[in-house]
Amino acid sequence: MPKYSIIITSGKLSDLEGLNRHVLEEAEGSIGMAMIYTLVSCMEDWLSKNCKSMEDAKASKKESTENKEVPISLRGGPVTRESFAVWNEKYLGELWQAAMLRDKKIAEAGPSKLTGRQLFEHNKALVTSDATYGDEADIVVNEVLFEGLDDLEVDDFEYDDESE
């Protein structure tokens, strides 16, 4: 009888000996017959039975941990106008303190950079300072880069008359 090894494709089997024992019993009962299909279905049955029991154990453990946790909605008492007013006053006080702390840090950091609008409002000369950038008199052309272009002919390039 040929020996077939059991290969674990994914996951982990903690009871590999039990599976081997179950498959060997089935193989001994099927000696002299074609048994691959029988052994595979035997393994599937064993795995489904044992995996269900492991899944049930995990589910019951998860259920017990969920029951231990108290939902947020059940903590404390019901919200009344008075309890909300107390909480809201405390919350707004915390927000105000956080805003004051932030403003204090900004003031301690010193003056920050001015925005573009503030720059133009403080220095009127900036309004006309960029007006000369559009003049072509400042452009310098390097003619050396264009020296070899006189010898070029239009026929040197592939030109498709049908595309126009």
| pLDDT score for 7 | 64
pTM beyond 0.85: the answer is no
Split the chain (164 residues) into runs of 10 and give each run's mean pLDDT. Answer: 62 69 80 80 81 75 73 72 94 96 83 78 76 66 79 63 55
| pLDDT score for 133 | 66
Rounded distance between C-alpha atoms, residue 19 and residue 43, angstroms: 7
* Ordered DSSP codes for 45-76: HHHHHHHHHHHHHHHHHHHHHHHHSPPGGGSS
| pLDDT score for 62 | 80
CB 46 within 8 A of CB 19: yes
| pLDDT score for 90 | 96
| pLDDT score for 10 | 56
